[in-house]
């Protein structure tokens, strides 16, 4: 016995998986865009320049400074800039600048310069282990003059 059946109509594939995939990609792209916008600093970096003065030991090697009085760690010391939470955001090293002769004696003077990310309410600057000093962004834009001893 033979049954003549009409062929079944071709099944159409559902299109919803394609639209769901496009929606997932759009949401992921939007998430990446938001992340990139939030990570981009909204303010330009701040150019920080400053000096560190320490008592001179009065012993000369040509015109080189020899910091005395327990300040031997200052020459070439690391300068650390941190944000208000104490997280390090920039570092550099002191560079010998010369001897500053004053009425009461002389000081070895060291320079430092670096760019720090803008946008913080306060910044901390610490040289070696000498303690952290707080500065506003406006104060950082002027030359910082540090002194020990």
Per-residue pLDDT of the chain (149 residues; tens, 9 = 90+): 566 666 666 677 777 777 777 877 878 887 777 776 666 557 899 999 999 988 776 544 456 676 667 777 888 889 999 999 999 999 999 988 777 777 677 788 889 999 999 999 999 999 988 889 999 999 999 999 998 87
What whole-number distance in Å separates Cα of residue 115 and Cα of residue 79?
12
C-alpha 105: how far from its chain's center? Answer: 37
Q: Give the number of other Cβ atoms within 10 Å of residue 33's Cβ.
A: 10
What whole-number distance in Å separates Cα of residue 101 and Cα of residue 103?
7
Beta-bridge mates of residue 147: 53
Residue among 126, 49, 132, 61 at smallest CA distance from 99: 61
Domain ranges in the chain are 46-147
Task: Name 67's Cβ contacts closer than 8 Å, sequence gap at least 6.
Answer: 54, 55, 56, 57, 74, 75, 108
Q: Give the number of other Cβ atoms within 10 Å of residue 19's Cβ.
A: 10
* φ, ψ dihedrals at 18, nearest 5°: -65, -45
- Candidates 3.30.1490, 1.10.30, 3.40.720, 2.60.40; CATH matching 46-147: 2.60.40
Q: What is the pTM of this model?
A: 0.66
């Amino acid at each position: 016995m033979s049954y003549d059946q009409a062929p079944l109509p071709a099944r159409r594939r559902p299109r919803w998986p394609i639209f769901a995939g496009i929606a997932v990609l759009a949401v992921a792209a939007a998430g990446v865009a938001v992340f990139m916008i939030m990570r981009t600093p909204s303010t330009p970096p701040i150019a920080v320049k400053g000096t560190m003065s320490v008592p001179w030991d009065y012993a000369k090697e040509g015109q080189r400074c020899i910091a005395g009085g327990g300040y031997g760690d200052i020459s070439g010391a690391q300068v650390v800039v941190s944000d208000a939470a104490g997280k390090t955001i920039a570092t550099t090293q002191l560079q010998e600048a010369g001897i500053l002769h004053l009425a009461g004696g002389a000081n070895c003077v060291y320079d430092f310069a670096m760019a720090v990310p803008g946008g913080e309410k306060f910044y901390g600057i610490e040289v070696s282990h000498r303690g952290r000093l707080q500065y506003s962004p406006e104060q950082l834009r002027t030359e910082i003059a540090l002194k020990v001893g």
